[in-house]
Every structure is written in C-alpha cells, then in structure tokens.
Amino acid sequence: MAFWLIIIVLLVGASALLVVPAMREGKQSTAASRDTLNKAFYQDRLDELAQDEDQGVVAERPELVKELQQNLLNDIPGQPDEQPARPINRWALVPGVMVLVVVSVGFYLKTGGLAQVMAWHQVESQMPELRARVANERAQPLSMEEIARLGLGLRTSLQQDDRNLNDWMMLGRVGMALNNATTATQAFAHAYSLDPTNMEVRLGYAEVLTRSGDPEDNKQATTMLRTMVAEDHTNVRVLSLLAFNSFEQGDYQQAIGAWQVMLKLLPADDQRVAVIKRSIEQAKVQVGAETVKLSVTVTLSPEAAKALPQQGTLIVSVTDGTNPVPVAVKQLPLSRFPLSFTLDDSNAMMPERLLSAQQQVKVHVRLSQDGLATPQAGDWFGDSTLQAYSGKEQVSVQIDKQVP
C-alpha cells in the first residue's frame, strides 16, 4: 500500500508541473497596450506643463502643447495592436495528464517486475504452510517448485533476521535439494559462523563441502570430519561422510577404515551393511591400482592470475611427448592456486594406452572459460617439460601463456 501511495503522489506531482503554470498564466493581468501608454504619457506631460505655467517657468505653453500633440500623432501605429492571446483552456490539459498517467503506469507494468513482486508476496503468505509441511514428517513432501518457493521465502526472512540459525540451516538444505551448491555452501557457512559447536550445523556444512568440486573444500571437510570422529567415534553419519569424502579424494585406506568401524556399529541385519561391504571391496581394488599415478602441481604467472575468470574449468591432458593424442585427461573446476592433484589409469583416454605404460610424459594445462576441449582465443595455458616417468613422479606446470 505504501508503494502505491508513493506512485500516486509522484503522478500528482508530475501532473501539477504540467497544469499549474497554465493556471498561473490565466490569472496574470494582460499587459497594457502601446496606445494606452502613449495616452498616459501625454496626460502626464500636460499636467506638468500646467504646473510649470502656474509657477512661471514656461511662457509659451500653447506651442509646447502643440508640439506634444504632434509627437503623440507621430507615435500612433499605422494599424491597431493585435489582440492579446487568449489563455489556454484548462480542460485542454486533461488529455495531457491522462497521457502522462497512462505512459508512466504502462512503463512500470512493462519493466517494473510487477508479476515477480506479486509472486514474492504470494510466497511470503505461503511460508507458514510450507514451514509446517517441512516440520511434519507425515505431511505431503514438497515439490521442487515448492522447495524453490521455500528458499525464496527463507532468503526474505533472513534479510530481516540474519541470526536465525534454523533458517540458515533450512536454506542450506534447500540449496542441496535444488542442487545449488553455492546457496547450500554459503548458507551452511553462515550457520557455522553463528554456532560452530552445533553438531547438526557441523554435519550439514561438512556434507556440503564433501559434495563440492573444489579440492580445498574437500580438504576442509576432511579436517572437520576427523575432528568430529575424534570427539565421537560412534557417530555413524560422521563416519559415513568421512568414508565417502576420503574415497572421492583417493584416500582409500582412510575410507576402508571408516567403513570397517561402521560395520562394527551397525546391526548385522541393517540394509547398509551390504552396501558398505561392496564399497570396501571397491576401495581395496583401488588401493592395488593406485601404485602408479602422476602428481601435478599447477601455479599461475602474475599475468594469468590477474586474468583468472570467476568461473571456468581447468583442463589437464597428458601426452607421451610424441603422439599429440592425450594419454590421460582430467577436468577440474577452478580453485585456489597453487593446485595439486593426481592422475592415474582411471583418467586414461583409451584402454590400450594407459598412463602406467608410459616411459615419458608431458603435461598440458589450460584454463577454459566454457569447458570446451577445443582451445579458445584468450584461454591461458601452460606446458611442462618432457620428462621420464616411472609411476611416482611429481610434475610442476606454470600457466603463463595465452591462446592468440
């Protein structure tokens, strides 16, 4: 209501700027004509001559009067003055005011996002119902559209109360449900800053970090989960997250250890037991295959660091130095530099050309803004030297060149 009152006041003010000057013009008195001025001047001069004659200053008054009459006749224009312009009819301004109002309102309806504002207010009115359905396990689950509305309502509420821990956690879960990693990470990070000792907050934040494609986030999750395991080694959820995160980072021994502890804590008839045993066997296979790998460290030159895009993909390819077809390829989201990672046979392009079978390697690293395999103009890249490879080497690459 306040918004519409402001709009009405602004329209009234704009209309007044159009109407008031015309109304003032109608009230102003019409300027005196030229003849009227001449007659007034003539009469004043006659009065002055009469006074001068009485005082004895002027002796030839008839001649002066005649000369004055002659001057008056010479100053009379040949044609009468034009009629003064008639003032503008006030009712003629009504169409202009109507056009002003219609155009202003039309532009607002076209560009002002009225539909989005109305949808936002509708979401605000639905928030109590959505919150109640989330809290009630027996209620009908929210659809994806309703989850998105819940997220919008939570962001609105947090604008007014940014210390509401429960709303920050709920917004983080909404981000996870919508597969919006940025929203989820930022929401749980804020909740963690409000209460870093809350176990639910810590678990939620660690889970988001384990799902991140940023290796630094994964390392932070590992640190948090190890701390929580040290505090309570019987928490199955913490052990599960630690095992998953370790497996994704290639720390298979730690993943196996966490899963084995879970097997001791879970009942024998628990449905998760079979899944955990399969995961352990898969991790053991990976332990046998990880003996051959290539460790890579990527740094940026000062020029490349200044041109680093906010979003993009780091594309890594390994060749044998003679054949341009890559032996292994890996793609990573842009992260903090220097960045370290490993490649192994799981990154091979073709089964018959494994990384473990190579005797020399050369690493090519490129910053791609669009994630395409084909280099684009302006992409920054770097190459390592061709060096011998036995399965344990460390290769360093600096990104310092730009595709012309």
Mean pLDDT by 10 residues, the chain (404 residues): 74 75 54 63 74 68 71 60 56 74 77 70 83 83 88 88 92 91 92 94 94 87 92 92 90 88 90 92 74 85 87 90 89 86 80 79 90 85 91 88 90
What is the predicted pLDDT for the residue at 197? 93
What is the predicted pLDDT for the residue at 87? 58
**In the CATH hierarchy, which top-level class contains the domain 230-290?**
mainly alpha
Intervals of CATH 1.20.58 along the chain = 230-290
Q: Which helix (H) or strand (E) holds 20?
A: helix 2-27
What is the predicted pLDDT for the residue at 318? 94
What is the predicted pLDDT for the residue at 45? 73
Intervals of CATH 2.60.40 along the chain = 294-402
What is the predicted pLDDT for the residue at 29? 44
DSSP state of 395: E
What is the predicted pLDDT for the residue at 60? 67
What is the predicted pLDDT for the residue at 376? 86
What is the predicted pLDDT for the residue at 30? 43
Task: Count Cβ neighbours within 10 Å for each residue of 63-76 and write b for 16 or more, e otherwise.
Answer: ebbeebeeeeeeee
Dihedral over Cα of 40, 42, 46, 49: its sign: positive
Q: Name the residue among 285, 279, 268, 284 with its Cα closest to residue 243.
A: 279
CB-based contact 225:206 (threshold 8 Å):
yes
- Judge if the upstream peptide bond of residue 333 is cis by omega within 30 degrees of 0: no
For residue 385, give the 3-state DSSP assignment.
coil
What is the predicted pLDDT for the residue at 32? 46
Intervals of CATH 1.25.40.10 along the chain = 115-132+142-212
**In the CATH hierarchy, which top-level class contains the domain 294-402?**
mainly beta
CB-based contact 188:204 (threshold 8 Å):
yes
Q: What is the CATH number of domain 115-132+142-212?
A: 1.25.40.10
